[in-house]
Structure 1
Amino acid sequence: MPRKHRFRLTMPKKSLVQRNRNAGAPSDAEWERMEVIAAFQVDDEQKFKKGDFAILLPDMADPDNPPRLHEFWVGILRDIRARHIHGENDVWVRVQWFYSPDDVKSLIKSFDASTCGRYERVLSDDFTIVSLTCFSDVISVKEYVESNIDQEDIYACERDQDTGFFYRYDLEHRARTINPKHIGTCLCSIPYNPDKDIMHLCPHPSCRRWYHRTCLVIRGSIESKVTKREREDSLLSSSPDSDEPFPVAAYQHPVPMPSPKKGRGPGTGRGKGKSIVHVSPLATLPEDLLETARLPIVKGAKVGGLVGNVRGVVAARRIVYAALEGREPVPKGWREKVIDGCKAIREEAAYGWEDEAPPLKCPQCQGAI
């Protein structure tokens, strides 16, 4: 969250108001002659540098009564230059704008702003030169690629602390086109709104689609007559790297294994050695690792956040598969990668989510999701 200090007046976006409102801005010819600088400070408080994401107070907003964070304008500092006037540095910044969903709606009538998150922006190809006095604070803005199962966490929901912004679309504002297309992967084709929706992912490579929970229930994509353990094993077998289910059942039967405790045992003779015990390979794995691998892959503010638990669950399943197949033992640092490194799983473990989902299945491959 930006530090709480007195917000400054901002210049309006070039595409929404006339450029002559930006009084004193250098001409294109002047801009080319100005000195390139790496950074600047405003009132000796916040330092801004090239490449930073920043929030700017909207035009007509009251700096003494600033709006809520999601109502600020957002831009990238692409170039910073200074000219010398009466012995003083006059600093100006070339900003690339992120449009709000409502801004995009004003350009593209078919764009549905209601399917965007409150802290979502759209990266445009619209640039404006603005004064250093326009900037309020540095902010986090991260790209969200919904098809990326290794997507890093993004704190951009109302309930998040240290909230930033995110984007998943690019806008060509003169051509009035959005890339990628503003269409969801669910049966309904409605895009994901992290503030409202709960989505389930089928991780199989040939599917790799997110579905609204409500759409799956309405369609009847629900497994019938399954026990809790059968459901968990079905989820565990849903591989992110193969369209074939992982053979979980093959690792549930007890097999002879060396006991970790030393002592006399069958076949050890008189010497000291490890006794032989019969356990299932699954039972040798860390319990909380298995619990994570058996979770459905979900996302949404109500179940852990914008990105959800996809990265942690996928990592857990890969570790389990490798250990069971004898390719690689469970790494010592698995918890940091699977639980501590995934916001949704970390918070679920700490607080729990009141989330009673039916045993859903993928409409395409019929696998558990």
Structure 2
Amino acid sequence: MVKVKEIRSKPDGEVWVKVNWFYSPQEVSEKVPAFDASKCAKYERIYSHHSEIVSALTFEALVTMVEFVEDDPDQPRILQDQFFHRYYLETNREKFNALQYTCDGALEPLGAKSCSCGEPYNPEDSDSRVMHWCPRPGCRRAYHRSCLIEDAHHAMLKGQNNLVCARLSSSADTDEAVTTPGRDILRRVPDDLVFLAAQPMVRGGAYGVAGNVAIVVRARRVVHAALPIVGHESFSGSEAEGLCILDAELELDLDLYSWYEDSGFASWEDAIVEARLSSEAQTEGVFVCPTCGGAL
């Protein structure tokens, strides 16, 4: 599998193509013994700067390849049968090294943001090994559910409202805990939106390669943008759902109910992990990030 870089033709009509190669996980493990191919998915490939010029006649079909950046809070969805890549094979005079993409466009050593157990994310792990992802910018790493349980990285909270507020306090845009208002203010935001924003961010197993991270991050951003506005003393409940609000000398249009039609929330029901989140239980359990202490 290759990525086309340039296409050129000769006067005689022959067409030649400059390509960069995608390797299979097994091929990379042969060149980099520390690379564990068993932690890769069926449709996963590894990009490289290994370049060649080949005849256009050697191509068989066009395939869509998606880049998967594990620490990107806005990572697009990756379908179960879609080819993707998250690692880069660096070659230099027959010396090989495997690196991993980051959301700022850089490359880092494999496992730099792996679980506390040191094992990389395997999209095809069992459900007990689903990864819980921390969105805070200084963290943005995932932990196996089984590791969080084994190492007792969890806490019990009094009531569902505290669980919702704890999850909403973890933002993809700040390392500081976001202060959330009381239940009365939260009730002025659409229930479905709060329900989605308060879901744990997970990936792997039944939740897919990229998981529900991007859609929950998006929902939290909408809620975070709305909360200071709907909590303003000069607004009544109906006015809080309105459009024109002045915030820090910036006029902001915010219709809290337009999110239902936002293409960014397409099929948001698939992002639901805790279907009974709205129950009025006396206590609720929440996983805690081992690195920053935020709610997962």
Counterpart check, 1:302 vs 2:230? no
* 1:37-116 map, 5 Å: 74-83=1-10, 89-116=13-40
Deviations 1:130-181 (A, max 9, x none): 33332221111121111111122222x3xxxxx3211112212332012232
Cα offset, 1:226, TM superposition: 4.4
Match of 1:193 in 2: 122
What is the letter of the counterpart of residue 232 of structure 1? V
Counterpart check, 1:150 vs 2:74? yes
- Report if aligned partners of 1:290, 1:320 keep a CA contact under 8 Å in 2: yes
- Report if aligned partners of 1:95, 1:127 keep a CA contact under 8 Å in 2: yes
- Distance in 2 (CA, whole Å) between partners of 1:203 and 1:310 is 8
Match of 1:181 in 2: 109
Closer/same/farther in 2, CA of residues 338 and 92 from structure 1, 3 Å limit: closer
What is the letter of the counterpart of residue 172 of structure 1? E
SS at match of 1:126: strand
* 1:176-325 map, 5 Å: 176-179=96-99, 180-183=108-111, 184-196=113-125, 197-224=129-156, 226-248=158-180, 250-252=181-183, 280-303=184-207, 305-325=208-228
Cα offset, 1:312, TM superposition: 1.3
- Distance in 2 (CA, whole Å) between partners of 1:302 and 1:228 is 25
187-196 vs 130-139, which moves further: 130-139
- Report if aligned partners of 1:315, 1:337 keep a CA contact under 8 Å in 2: no
- Report if aligned partners of 1:117, 1:193 keep a CA contact under 8 Å in 2: yes
- Report if aligned partners of 1:359, 1:368 keep a CA contact under 8 Å in 2: yes
Deviations 1:97-147 (A, max 9, x none): 101111101111111111112111111122233333322211111211111
What is the letter of the counterpart of residue 187 of structure 2? A
- Report if aligned partners of 2:136, 2:170 keep a CA contact under 8 Å in 1: yes
- Report if aligned partners of 2:286, 2:295 keep a CA contact under 8 Å in 1: yes
- Report if aligned partners of 1:223, 1:361 keep a CA contact under 8 Å in 2: yes
- Distance in 2 (CA, whole Å) between partners of 1:338 and 1:283 is 23
Aligned length: 253
- Distance in 2 (CA, whole Å) between partners of 1:319 and 1:240 is 12
- Distance in 2 (CA, whole Å) between partners of 1:312 and 1:77 is 31
- Distance in 2 (CA, whole Å) between partners of 1:354 and 1:319 is 21
Cα offset, 1:94, TM superposition: 2.3
SS at match of 2:171: coil
Deviations 1:36-86 (A, max 9, x none): xxxxxxxxxxxxxxxxxxxxxxxxxxxxxxxxxxxxxx111222233455x
Closer/same/farther in 2, CA of residues 90 and 354 from structure 1, 3 Å limit: farther
SS at match of 1:139: coil
| Structure 1: runs of 5+ lacking an equivalent | 1-73, 158-162, 253-279
Bigger relative CO (Cα 8 Å, ≥ 6 apart): 2
> What is the CA RMSD across the aligned residues, in angstroms?
2.6
Closer/same/farther in 2, CA of residues 346 and 338 from structure 1, 3 Å limit: farther
Counterpart of 1:167 (choices 72, 85, 89) is 85
Counterpart of 2:288 (choices 334, 339, 361) is 361
Counterpart of 2:265 (choices 331, 339, 348) is 339
Deviations 1:168-198 (A, max 9, x none): 1221233201223221421012111112141
Closer/same/farther in 2, CA of residues 77 and 225 from structure 1, 3 Å limit: closer
- Report if aligned partners of 2:20, 2:49 keep a CA contact under 8 Å in 1: yes
- Distance in 1 (CA, whole Å) between partners of 2:96 and 2:62 is 28
Question: TM-score w.r.t. structure 2 length?
Answer: 0.76
- Distance in 1 (CA, whole Å) between partners of 2:276 and 2:193 is 20
Structure 1 or 2, whichever has the larger Rg, is 1
Closer/same/farther in 2, CA of residues 354 and 323 from structure 1, 3 Å limit: closer
Cα offset, 1:289, TM superposition: 0.6
- Report if aligned partners of 1:201, 1:298 keep a CA contact under 8 Å in 2: yes
Question: TM-score w.r.t. structure 1 length?
Answer: 0.62
